[in-house]
A and B are shown apart, each in its own frame.
Chain A
């Protein structure tokens, strides 16, 4: 390869370099290239040579496999007996990563070990596990794969999972997809039980199920029984876990505690808040009464009657009016009462009669017309009359009317304004009461949740500190070997999302997680994330385990919650110490 030497070449100006920068073009090329690659991958399969090669290779593989299976006897292969009967109603599919064992302990040294027991099949046994759980095996509980009773020693391999550390250490998948919604199982405890005779798996006689009285640390009564179908890789719902209710033994302390808890369903603060809430509607009613009275007390308005000008030629009566009885007629002093055109019974002869009495009462239009009742012995005539003025009296009355009408208008405006003001005041007070009620209700709801959690935690603590005999016992009715649990589905945490960058001891080295476990401290649940982004509820407390390159890294709850609070995605992690050798140590390391 020849080399040329240039001396003092002119540098390329920045403008020219920048003019060649085109990120959009780069992305387009990248996308085009990706599409072409995808097509070429597809076309490879269409290629005749490739197809023939694949067919030949396939035939060769089949022949080889057939040869080995027919002519070569393979050494006995270990089979498992954890396939379960799948006749239950609901099936959930745990999330699994491709090319990974379904149950894959992330760090093999941490895996929860089995305890082995020997049982004479024909005699049965009651085994007491180190956790104080009892495994009650009836006589002749085991059969071979042909369904025949087994005689002799059977090795029972048994292990339990109580907490988040056990879940992580065992690698048992706790996530499942229910109708496309991903959930995680919150656990009240799991068992894994297997049986072997001379290394060959045995099976449980379905008519003689094994009963496991499992000592659970979780007392809540909201769990279901599931079994893990390792063949179809599904959690299978068995039934509602009612075992707590049915069991009388070892329950007295729990029952009394539960009774105490149930008697005290609400905290004092909740009761106080409820009182405050209850007091609000009467307060609103009282305010309503006060404001109604205030409105009623506002000065009343009477529109003054406009003087009516007498029409020449209309029949009229002159009357002595008691102005105290008809104050509105004050303005009509010296008025005559004009007979209204609506009086069909009027005739001019009426004016010639000397009536023994004439009474004026309210007419059909109050304040405008009046009813004139004329009597003479048995004869009675009723006429609708209108007070009317003429000449100077009319002018005077009109002036008085105008003045009074002006006062009336002012009064009406003032009353309307006062009414409006009072109404607004009332509405504002009503809104304030409603807001207070809402605030108190929210506060009460939070308090109730907090109280319930506190009660539950207290009971949990109480039971954890009690000796084993006082723990809650859950009954597992095991009719086939495998993994069973008493769990309840929990939604993935919501609230905030983050794409963390994990740094080892806050230094420069990064950890690229293959699997992130978010360990919830308020519930016995571990959330699994296989993507870089994790979600969390900012109100909850978590710690974190990260698996990368076959190593486990931890972030304790204090540091993690600081990061979550500050929304800081650089999360310092520490590599799991080599001193941590089992799930028990892991539990301490995680801080649960």
Chain B
């Protein structure tokens, strides 16, 4: 399949700054690994990991729901699950955070499946503008509703990608780790989603022109 968008466009997205949340140097990874090994022996040693990642995980959870209290409860649940299963954790050359994000994602999805909470997408207007820039469309007020509608209707996996990239502004490396994909695969998937968005926007624009 021929893509409409060149990868460089995404990598150099014009006004958007993508910043890693948790990426580490090799030494930091080693130090983190030491803490994990210690935590496997004694749960009290899990403290530094909890302190380090609490805010990030809460941010990730709350990004996907409306209720703050539920988000706090679920964050606690994520860490409890991590501590319970830390013995099974295997180092695969990526930061521990990616494992926590996967637990968080699983917990969030479980919550929505149980219909105890409504899946929520949280974004800023500026984020929608970035998406428009990304698909080489000039942002117009009428696009807001269309974009919101398109994004809301995306399948969960696609929505995850859009959220992580545009609303949480993560680099592809982190996205790939969280979603357990290769970086290229993450990029390709996102281009395809944007392709669909672009088509919808172009269609709307034409309709308005007509």
A interface with B by C-beta (< 8 Å): 1-9, 12, 14, 17-18, 20-21, 23, 25-27, 29-31, 33, 499, 501, 503, 507-510, 512, 532, 569-570
Residues of B within 8 A of A532 (CB): 37, 41
CA distance A510 to B113 in the complex (A): 37
Please tell me which one of the listed residues B38, B46, B47, B120 contacts residue A5 in the complex, with CB atoms under 8 A apart: B120
Are B83 and A4 in contact, with the CB atoms below 8 A?
no
Give a binary string over B41-66; 1 marks a CB under 8 Å from any A CB, 0 the rest.
Answer: 10110110011001100100010001
Chain B, interface size category, equals 35 or more
The interface-forming segment of B74-82, B133-141, B187-195, B200-208 is B74-82
Are B118 and A30 in contact, with the CB atoms below 8 A?
no
CA distance A27 to B68 in the complex (A): 23
Residues of A within 8 A of B51 (CB): 21, 23
The reply to whether the CB of B169 lies closer than 8 angstroms to some CB of chain A is no
* Known contacts A20-B75, A26-B50; A5 and B80 CB within 8 A of each other: no
Output the least CB separation between B82 and chain A (Å): 10
Are A3 and B159 in contact, with the CB atoms below 8 A?
yes
Residues of B within 8 A of A503 (CB): 30
The reply to whether the CB of B72 lies closer than 8 angstroms to some CB of chain A is yes
Residues of B within 8 A of A30 (CB): 43, 80, 83-84
Are B54 and A21 in contact, with the CB atoms below 8 A?
yes
Residues of A within 8 A of B156 (CB): 1
Output the least CB separation between A566 and chain B (Å): 15
B interface with A by C-beta (< 8 Å): 26, 29-30, 33-34, 37-38, 41, 43-44, 46-47, 50-51, 54-55, 58, 62, 66, 68, 72, 75-76, 79-80, 83-84, 90-91, 93, 112-113, 115, 118-125, 144, 148, 151-153, 156, 159
Are A20 and B148 in contact, with the CB atoms below 8 A?
no
Residues of B within 8 A of A8 (CB): 124-125
Jot down 29 A-B pairs with beta carbons below 8 A, ordered by A: A1-B113, A2-B119, A3-B118, A3-B153, A4-B118, A5-B152, A6-B120, A7-B144, A8-B124, A8-B125, A18-B55, A20-B58, A20-B75, A20-B76, A23-B46, A23-B47, A23-B51, A26-B50, A26-B83, A27-B44, A31-B43, A499-B38, A501-B34, A503-B30, A507-B26, A509-B93, A510-B91, A512-B90, A512-B91
CA distance A1 to B154 in the complex (A): 11
Are A12 and B44 in contact, with the CB atoms below 8 A?
no
In the complex, residue of chain A having the shortest beta-carbon distance to the beta carbon of B26:
A508
Are A7 and B148 in contact, with the CB atoms below 8 A?
yes
* Known contacts A2-B119, A4-B66; A17 and B55 CB within 8 A of each other: yes
* Known contacts A31-B43, A510-B91; A17 and B123 CB within 8 A of each other: no
Residues of A within 8 A of B58 (CB): 12, 17, 20
Please tell me which one of the listed residues A6, A14, A20, A31 contacts residue B121 in the complex, with CB atoms under 8 A apart: A6
In the complex, residue of chain A having the shortest beta-carbon distance to the beta carbon of B71:
A12
Residues of B within 8 A of A9 (CB): 122
CA distance A503 to B38 in the complex (A): 17
Is chain A's binding surface mostly helix, strand, loop or mixed? mixed
Output the least CB separation between A567 and chain B (Å): 14
Are B55 and A14 in contact, with the CB atoms below 8 A?
yes
Identify 13 new A-B residue pairs, CB closer than 8 A, beyond the known A1-B115, A26-B46: A2-B118, A3-B153, A5-B151, A6-B66, A7-B123, A7-B125, A21-B51, A25-B76, A29-B80, A33-B84, A503-B30, A512-B90, A532-B37
Residues of B within 8 A of A509 (CB): 93
CA distance A78 to B137 in the complex (A): 78
CA distance A533 to B64 in the complex (A): 42
* Known contacts A8-B125, A501-B34; A17 and B54 CB within 8 A of each other: yes
CA distance A14 to B51 in the complex (A): 13
Residues of A within 8 A of B118 (CB): 2-4
Are B30 and A499 in contact, with the CB atoms below 8 A?
no
Are B30 and A570 in contact, with the CB atoms below 8 A?
yes
Residues of B within 8 A of A23 (CB): 46-47, 50-51
CA distance A270 to B36 in the complex (A): 51
Please tell me which one of the listed residues A1, A12, A570 contacts residue B112 in the complex, with CB atoms under 8 A apart: A1
Are A7 and B124 in contact, with the CB atoms below 8 A?
yes
Are B68 and A12 in contact, with the CB atoms below 8 A?
yes
Output the least CB separation between B158 and chain A (Å): 12
Residues of B within 8 A of A499 (CB): 34, 37-38
CA distance A18 to B54 in the complex (A): 8
Are A4 and B79 in contact, with the CB atoms below 8 A?
no
Residues of A within 8 A of B152 (CB): 3-5
CA distance A34 to B62 in the complex (A): 28
CA distance A509 to B91 in the complex (A): 8
In the complex, residue of chain A having the shortest beta-carbon distance to the beta carbon of B128:
A7
CA distance A495 to B144 in the complex (A): 69
Output the least CB separation between B35 and chain A (Å): 11
Are A27 and B43 in contact, with the CB atoms below 8 A?
yes
Residues of B within 8 A of A570 (CB): 30
